[in-house]
Structure 1
Amino acid sequence: MTDVAKVLLTLHSLGSLSTSNTYDDVESVTGALHDSLEVYKRTKNINIYCPSDFFEYGNVGASLDDMLLEITNDNWDLYQLALKEMTKVVLPYVTKNNNTESMIADINHQAATLPRHYSFVLCETYSWPTVSLEKHTTSWSNTLTLNSKFIAGNHTDSDDFISLSKENYENLDFHPDLENTITTVLHGTYRDYKYLFSHAMNTLNQAFHEISTAPNQNEADLDKIKEISAQLGKTLSCTRQKKNKVEWDFQHPSTPEESESINCEYHLKINWTDAGIGLHKDKKVRVYFGLKSYDEFERKQIKLAHMGKHL
Structure 2
Amino acid sequence: MGSTRFMAILATYMRPPRQPPRAFVTRAVETTVLSQSRRRCCVCFYLHDINEVKKGQIAHLNKDRSDGDIGNLVYLCLDHHDEYDSRTSQAKGLTEDEVRLYREQLYKANRAQVDLATENSQVTEAANPILPLLRDESAFQHARDQDNAGFEVLNRQWNYPLWQVVDQTDLFAYKSHGDIDGVCLIERIDLPNGAIAIACIAPCGNPGQSITNNVELICFQVCERFNIPPKRLIWLEHYDYGDPEWNWVTFRVMPPDGPFSDPRWHEVSSTLWSEWGLIPKKKLPRRGPVYGSKLKKLFKRPSSFEDLS
TM-score by length of 2: 0.23
- Between structures 1 and 2, the one with greater helix share: 1
Q: Which has the higher contact order (CA 8 A, sep 6+)?
A: 1
TM-score by length of 1: 0.23
- Between structures 1 and 2, the one with greater strand share: 2
